[in-house]
Amino acid sequence: MFIGGLSALLASLLYIYAGHLIWKKIQGSTDANIRPQVIKTALAATLLHTFALSTTLWGVGHVIYFNMGNGLSLVALLGSAILLITCINKNTEILGIFVYPLAAITVLLPLFMNDFTPLPFALGVHVLISIAAYSIMGIATAQAILYGRQECLFRKKKLSKLMKALPPLQVMENTLIQLVIIGFIFLSFALLSGAFFIEDLFAQHLIHKTFLAILSWIVYGAFLFGHFKYGWRGRKAARFTIWAYFLLVLSFIGTSMILSSLGY
């Protein structure tokens, strides 16, 4: 536990340092090429974050210990890891200004939240896949909003320092498509794995969640088909991503409200 806590603290400090480097670049206070340093720092932070999270997530006897803290930590970890993946062939490290400060905070949360819910391995894996799907699509939606804002300001020729520092519109768009593809894969696995735990949709009050989640999956699928078949892109890509995620969030919030009203 001590080693896990130390790893989380070091990861947090490295995330903060990576964010600091990016902020200096955005403000124009350095002309140096920060890309190699940011990537190395973020990679070290992500690896330490992965180890720290594993010490609070995995239990003895194929049990997964879950709570809000390691759930949020997982979301931030995925965001950092995906950003590193996109950096392989694109200059997207500047986007870390949105990801790394969040990761610096959430990596520490499991250390302060000690109330865990033990889950059987199969159910725990389904929960983790579902969280991954929600978080990746959430990142894609944030990217869509950022892309839409950047495009709008670019047309008006009113780009701020931050918008000027962001990758070009083409790179932002390609990153958005990559995120949707990755998220779509995770969402597909989440729906498939969830089918094994459904006994009666109505008795378990899952009909609303299942219907809206499948509808969201269809919208994402329709967009990807339209993108590769008909070249859908730009604002249409952003709108599809935002609306599909709205349905996904609604599936969770709507079901939670129904269960709460029924006293569950």
pLDDT in tens, 67-121: 888 888 998 999 999 999 988 888 888 899 999 999 999 999 988 887 777 888 7
Which of the listed residues 62, 97, 115 is the one where a domain comes to its end?
Answer: 115
**Average pLDDT, rounded, for the chain:** 84
- Count of structural domains, the chain: 2
Domain co-membership, 5 together with 136: no
Domain co-membership, 230 together with 153: yes
Maximal C-alpha separation, the chain: 62
pLDDT at 257 over 90: no
Domain co-membership, 60 together with 125: no
Give me the helices (H) in 199-233, please.
207-230
- Which residues face 120 on adjacent strands? 63
pLDDT at 146 over 60: yes
CA–CA dist 213, 209 (Å, integer): 6
Instruction: Could you list the beta-strand ranges (E) of 74-210.
Output: 117-120
Could you tell me which of 37, 55, 57, 33 has the C-alpha nearest to residue 45? 37
Domain co-membership, 133 together with 263: yes
Are the CB atoms for 56 and 4 separated by under 8 Å? Answer: yes
pLDDT of res. 206 = 53
CA–CA dist 188, 196 (Å, integer): 14
Neighbouring CB atoms inside 10 A of 248's CB total 25
Which of the listed residues 79, 94, 115 is the one where a domain comes to its end?
Answer: 115
pLDDT at 204 over 90: no
pLDDT at 56 over 80: yes
pLDDT of res. 43 = 96
pTM for this one?
A: 0.81
Which of the listed residues 115, 135, 170 is the one where a domain comes to its end?
Answer: 115
Torsion of CA 24, 30, 35, 39, to 10 degrees: -40
Structural domain range at position 200? 120-264
Domain co-membership, 105 together with 126: no
